[in-house]
Chains A and B, each alone.
Chain A
Amino acid sequence: MIKNILRTPSFLWTAAVLLVLLLVPFFAGRFYVYILAVVFVTGLLAMSLNLLVGHGGAYQFHHCVFYGVGAYTAGLILAKTSLPAWVGLCAGPLAAALTGLVIGAFCVRLNKLYFGMLQISLGSLIWIVALRWYDLTNGDDGIHGIPMPELLSGSVNAYYFLLIVVSACLALMYLILKSPFGATLRAVRDNPQRCEAVGIDVRRHQLLAIVIGTFFAGVAGVLFVVLEGSVFPDMLFWVLSLEIFIMCLLGGWFTFFGPMLGAAIMVALRTFVGSYTDYWTLILGVVLILLIFFLPEGIMGVNFRSWQRRRERRRSADAVR
């Protein structure tokens, strides 16, 4: 089975892209290395949301809270305690997954929009605490200059660390989505009633998906701390949650790498358009409306469709022959 996977074109493409990314620091300037690293973090965050929304069908309206919780946990442990750095880096995703478990346990009792509204409420409580607890979190200012271990400091070191962790997370996510659990999750998304009828515990599957998704969001949060050395309350603010939605929409909901592509486009827009004009959110809004009207399945979604159609045509041609 593994041999088969290794031979598929999508695997070869992935390996080629990975190789190029490994070599980037040798020929690209520091600025571009940094931008790529930002794309990795944002992309992982978007893909963790897609795991829940695109594949799990959950109305995860306030996903960035878990990203923020992961980042704040790691940042606080690194900046305010004398524990070894790896404790902080590991505690971030765990704290995010634990928060996901608690919030998710309340949310899965409800469906659709109520799920989302409840999550916005519970998430906002965490945001407001982070914003107001000056003694712990420095409130509005956030925490800056978080000390990093030698191995992870410097933009190139951070880049490689991020590349390794993000690749590992994506591989893990891919395996999860290919597993029977992933298949069940999509079944729950498409028809919860029928799943309930054949004996699948819908809520438990959704809750498990939330824990997994929030864990990866926490990883993204920790990686943000590694890259930027700072945390601030805007990481928990609901506007960011909606921005992650845009990334997923941009890249394509039901595709695997779509959200990563969406994140890359978003980061590029913010960096390059944002340096020309103060009104880049206006442009983002217009792009979003155009997407909703003309490309509701995202860039990858459309590609994926036409690619699938072509493959089917080829297959039927083979059959005739």
Chain B
Amino acid sequence: METSHTLAALTSQLLVGLSRAMILFIVSSGLSFILGVLRVPNVAHGSLYMIGAFAAHTIATAFDGSVAAFWLAMFCAPLIVAVISLVAERLLFCHLYEREHLMLLLFTFALMLILGDLTKMTWGADYRSIVAPPFLQGSIPVLGTAFPRYNLFLLLVGPLVAVGLWLLSSKTKFGKIARAAAVDREMVGAIGINVSWVFAFAFVLGCLLAGLGGALVSPTISITLGMDHSIIIEAFLIVTIGGLGNIWGAMVGSLIFGITQSVGVMVLPQFAIVFPYLAVVIILTLKPTGLLKSVW
């Protein structure tokens, strides 16, 4: 009886960790994609994630929380984030690509400061939450534990995004151009491709994923200011241990992050959040360039 109980608890923690990993993957894969193509650590990524969550809340509650409104929120919130990032990219960021990386990093930091305050202006400092539609509420029994349906939904979406992103970057013409532009942008420009727009598209796609992560996470947490700060550091670490710019690396890193944290909750609840960081340090001391091959 006792062992089956622990097993059930372990399974449930593991599943929670896995679904958390899916959110982390969606956000960090966007970061990784931008890193791979533009070679810029996008510090504003966390802010875009936060905006995604707030926008999803606004849309989902606008129609009395109907099911259609929920799906509309999941669809439109990332698009809103994409539009914001497109404006920032075309208006400002695209003029800086020739500059040093440090300047690009500082530009994204400026973007983070501005977006953070604009979010505060628009939505205020209140805590908010969304309710998932009825068929995603409640839980189903999995291996002797009750597993929330919404988390199961996340476990489906995560791999879908991964496969979609992989297909885009390795099987389509755009993906091939983007990877070529990352290696040698002058050469790609010389054969008649508008590199600036390739970079814009890559940046917007990465930011869209941040917004999608924010929208998807919104029913599971309370949406508040400050959620940008915690996610961005986690996404940075995930991308680093996975190998900069590698989509599957982001997946591996997210799984490590999510699982170590959920197992840590069982071992030492107070220090649960330390475990992923410890795992990161161990991995980086053994393999400083990340687990999977970096694209550069």
Contact = CB atoms under 8 A, between A and B. Distances in A.
Co-complex (A, B): yes
Interface of A: 53, 59, 106, 109-110, 112-114, 116-118, 120-122, 124-125, 128-129, 132, 134, 237-239, 242, 245-246, 249, 278-279, 281-282, 284-286, 288-289, 292-293, 296
B49 to A, nearest CB: 16
A245 B281 contact: no
Interface in B246-274: 270-271, 273-274
A113 B113 contact: no
Contacts of B103: 292, 296
B236 interface: yes
Contacts of A238: 233
A121 B256 CA distance: 15
B278 A125 contact: yes
Contacts of A117: 41, 236, 239-240, 244
Given A113-B244, A132-B271, A249-B106, A286 B114 contact: yes
B207 interface: no
A238 B111 CA distance: 16
Interface string B92-107: 1001100101110011
Nearest to B88: A289
Contact of B41 (A113, A128, A246, A279): A113
B152 interface: no
Contacts of B281: 121-122, 125
A238 B237 CA distance: 12
A132 B265 CA distance: 13
B117 interface: yes
A109 B286 CA distance: 12
B42 to A, nearest CB: 12
B106 A128 contact: no
A288 B110 contact: yes
A242 B277 contact: no
Given A106-B284, A129-B274, A134-B270, A121 B113 contact: no
A279 B274 contact: no
Nearest 4 A/B pairs, CB to CB:
A285-B113, A282-B117, A285-B114, A288-B110
B285 interface: yes
A187 B185 CA distance: 28
B289 interface: yes
Contact of B270 (A59, A114, A124, A132): A132
B43 A120 contact: no
B277 A288 contact: no
15 contacts: A110-B289, A112-B101, A114-B244, A114-B289, A117-B41, A117-B239, A121-B241, A121-B281, A124-B280, A129-B274, A132-B270, A284-B110, A285-B110, A292-B96, A293-B95
Contact of A110 (B113, B236, B273, B288): B288
Nearest to A129: B274
Contacts of B39: 113
Nearest to B240: A117
Nearest to B296: A113
A106 B285 contact: yes
A243 to B, nearest CB: 9
B147 interface: no
